[in-house]
Amino acid sequence: MSGLSRDLQMTLQAAVREAMVRRHAYLTVEHLLYALLHDDRGVQIVRACGGQVEALKAQLQRFFADDLEAVAGDGPVETRQTLAFHRVVQHALQQVANAEKEEADAGDLLAALFQEPDSHAVALLRAQGMTRLDVLKFISHGITKVPGDAVAGGEPASESAIGTGEPDEDLPADPLVAFASNLTERAAKGQLDPLVGRAAELERTVHILARRRKNNPIFVGETGVGKTAIAEGLALRIHSGQVPEDLKGAEIFALDLGALLAGTKYRGDFEARFKALVSAIRRRQRPILFIDEIHTILGAGSAQGGTVDASNLLKPLLQSGELRCMGSTT
């Protein structure tokens, strides 16, 4: 179907197969939700919005068994779409057109599903505390209602058993993956080069970061003198454990301002993304934010004539000492 991503077309086909296997005469939004709960992206979104995937599957299975009548006989079943099913797909396509996207995906379909408030599917989602706004916040800005680990690996933290699966790298489970690079993780993988000729600067950086307050070093120098290399050198030292106790286990996240700004057409889009990123960073045990060319955050994300930009959003966190930050500039 035109306008639908390949994965979403497969999800719709799975919904049709589910209805046919169960010998249901009508293809409903409940079949659609059930198929989305078996799609990686659909599962990720539901978990991010506080939903319990396995519980929803079980509830839908009971609904299919108790409330939908199976067609008698052994012959093939002709399954027809309900009007509600058709409306959900059309709403998803309309959302994509309004957002100027090329294709609808699982997130668009899940958001559109809430346009059928009288359906049993939406009642189940709402019983889990999910709303259409939750879905839109996650698919647009990566804002979740649960910790990132719960989104990536299993049910929300309130569940007695948390899954241990790994997140899909193509579908970032939290804003850290989408808008930043973990330098400490790259150091552990051997992806960073050793720092040469900057021992004094690196030692000074460690001393500043170890302070309780005013612990935000900034590297100033001409292009190509190795400012970013100092941050990478620190990541290597943290990985090797050659840092003070206060910095052991720390993680350095290099901000990708381009990714953060990409697609922020409307006022508030950038602010929501940046707040989500900072919130995700603060959930880490010992995070350090690194901003290359830090002067570029002045005015970044602000609307024309507006005063809210990345620097204003970051300033209170730095003043209070809640977040350690390194920057480089010329």
- All CATH 3.40.50.300 domain ranges in the chain, comma separated: 176-329
- Higher-pLDDT residue of 146 and 176 is 176
Range(s) within the chain of domains with CATH label 1.10.1780.10:
6-166
Give the amino acid at 100.
E
295 three-class SS: helix
Q: What homologous superfamily does CATH list for 6-166?
A: Clp, N-terminal domain (1.10.1780.10)
Among candidate residues 269, 234, 271, the one with its CA nearest the CA of residue 253: 234
Q: What is the arithmetic mean of pLDDT over 104-117?
A: 92
- The continuous run of DSSP H or E covering 121 comes out as helix 120-127
Q: Give the model confidence (pLDDT) of 212-225 as tens digits.
A: 878 899 999 888 88
Tell me how far apart the alpha carbons of residues 301 and 237 are, in angstroms, rounded to a whole number: 33
Higher pLDDT, 222 or 315: 222
- 153-195 pLDDT, tens per residue? 444 433 322 233 333 333 345 678 778 889 999 999 999 999 9
CATH code reported for the domain at 176-329: 3.40.50.300
Model confidence pLDDT, tens digit, residues 75-89: 788 899 999 999 999
pLDDT at position 307 is 43
**Secondary structure (DSSP) of 136-166:** HHHHHH---SS-HHHHHHSS-TTSSS---PP
Burial class (CB in 10 A: 0-12, 13-18, 19+), 55: middle
